[in-house]
Amino acid sequence: MPHEKDHQRDLFARQSRVRGMMLGLALGDTLGGARGALPADGPLRAGVSTQLACFTAEGIIRAQVRGHHKGICYAPGVVLHAYSRWAFLQGIETERMRRRWNSHGGAGWPDGWLAGVPALAERRGSAPATVAALSRIEEGEERMATPSRGCHALTRSLPVAVTGSGGIAQAGALAALTHGDPSAQSATVHAAVLAHHCLTHPAPERGPSSPSGGTVREALNAGVAALPAEDRRLTEHEHGRLTAALRHAADEPADAESLARLAPDATAPSALLGGLYAAASFPGRADFRAALEFAAHAPDGDSVACVTGALLGAVHGVEALPVDLVGRHELAWVLDTLARDLVLELDDSPSGGEYVPGWDPHWWPRYPGW
């Protein structure tokens, strides 16, 4: 039937772009952490931003499941539970995590399939503000955040872009769980808006002579233009810096000094501006690897390349990512599965809901709604 085929094609296209965003994020994190110099062979190790982004995506799915079954859900609270499972697997504040989430000593916690992934239990860098806040989880969500403006508030929150305008409003709340600085929260919201526009901007006609560079800049320009309506707290200074970064990428692309000036440190605003500049400097579909290698040489290369990869992957789709890098990444299957399941949950909740039976009996054990 034509209508069913159209839906299948639309679902496939959306999955491709979400998969591209998630895997692009991870490749950027890995390449940036290696300063662009990857080992010639062997698995590519995930960074801590990628680990946390996995739990953000899983938390979003579980929040959707809870909303369908309970009729109400505070999504940041469910995502906080996801970060707590990450901390427990990492051996961080394990007793405190048990008291908060498993006070009755049940054998099934941490639950959900993601808790069984070995690479997510290995230390892959530090996330000091996230860890410090989780160590104060018993003080309550409103008091546990640190004053940090660090980049992990932003990099780990990028999957929220998939949920659309309503979900993007939650991006700032996700950042605020652990990062109390307003600029970190604003940059996280702005990155989610840009990533959402990259995911949803109309794709160009595909063909051997079809350029895609214009599409990347169009999507980013549309995202920057939409920010005043999406974020009422946006300042003229913030908007001006984003506009200037885009303009500079068009006039003087891929300039290392410009990248260092836009992204001088490991903060969320630097990750946003540097990632925006790098993505707009290398907008071509065939330039993905070059974009990440350029971004990797920013003063904090992993955060800038992480944002760069997410934005470009969201526009171009997973098919544009270098197969040799994706095939070697240790979390490629995990990220790909999360991306597909995230789109599927938003499209048609497989576990059903309070009044609607589900069609996948295994979905709730994979993504328990709490």
Q: What does the alpha-carbon distance between residue 308 and residue 292 come to, in Å, rounded to a whole number?
A: 7
Is 331 in contact with 57 (CB distance < 8 Å)? Answer: no
The closest of 342, 278, 292, 341 to 321, measured between CA atoms, is 292
Question: Binding site: which residues?
Answer: 300, 302-303
pLDDT at 78 over 90: yes
Q: What pLDDT is recorded for position 165? A: 76
pLDDT at 208 over 60: no
Other C-beta atoms closer than 10 Å to the C-beta of 177 total 22
Going by pLDDT thresholds of 50, 70 and 90, the confidence category of residue 99 is very high
Residue labelled with tokens 């009729």: 71
Q: What does the alpha-carbon distance between residue 38 and residue 279 come to, in Å, rounded to a whole number?
A: 20
3-state secondary structure of 179: strand
Average pLDDT of span 290-300: 98
Average pLDDT of span 273-302: 97
Query: Please, what is the average pLDDT of the chain?
Result: 94
From residue 116, alpha-carbon distances to 64, 120, 126, 251 in Å are 21, 8, 21, 47
Question: Binding site for Mg(2+): which residues?
Answer: 300, 302-303
Going by pLDDT thresholds of 50, 70 and 90, the confidence category of residue 213 is low
Q: Which fold has domain 8-203+211-354?
A: ADP-ribosylglycohydrolase fold (1.10.4080)
Q: What pLDDT is recorded for position 169? A: 82
Q: What does the alpha-carbon distance between residue 95 and residue 110 come to, in Å, rounded to a whole number?
A: 13
Least confident stretch, 143-157, 194-208, 280-294:
194-208
pLDDT in tens, 12-68: 999 999 999 999 999 999 999 999 889 999 999 999 999 999 999 999 999 999 999
pTM metric for this prediction: 0.95
pLDDT in tens, 130-185: 999 999 999 998 899 999 999 999 999 999 999 987 778 899 999 999 999 999 99
Going by pLDDT thresholds of 50, 70 and 90, the confidence category of residue 111 is very high
Q: What does the alpha-carbon distance between residue 201 and residue 287 come to, in Å, rounded to a whole number?
A: 19
Is 296 in contact with 305 (CB distance < 8 Å)? Answer: yes
Q: What pLDDT is recorded for position 209? A: 43
pLDDT at 283 over 80: yes
Domain positions in the chain: 8-203+211-354
The closest of 287, 280, 293 to 219, measured between CA atoms, is 280
Residue type at 99 in one-letter notation? R
Q: What share of the chain has pLDDT > 90, as a percent? A: 88
Q: What pLDDT is recorded for position 2? A: 62
Average pLDDT of span 120-124: 96
pLDDT in tens, 229-270: 999 899 999 999 999 999 999 999 999 999 999 999 999 999
The closest of 75, 73, 33, 31 to 56, measured between CA atoms, is 75
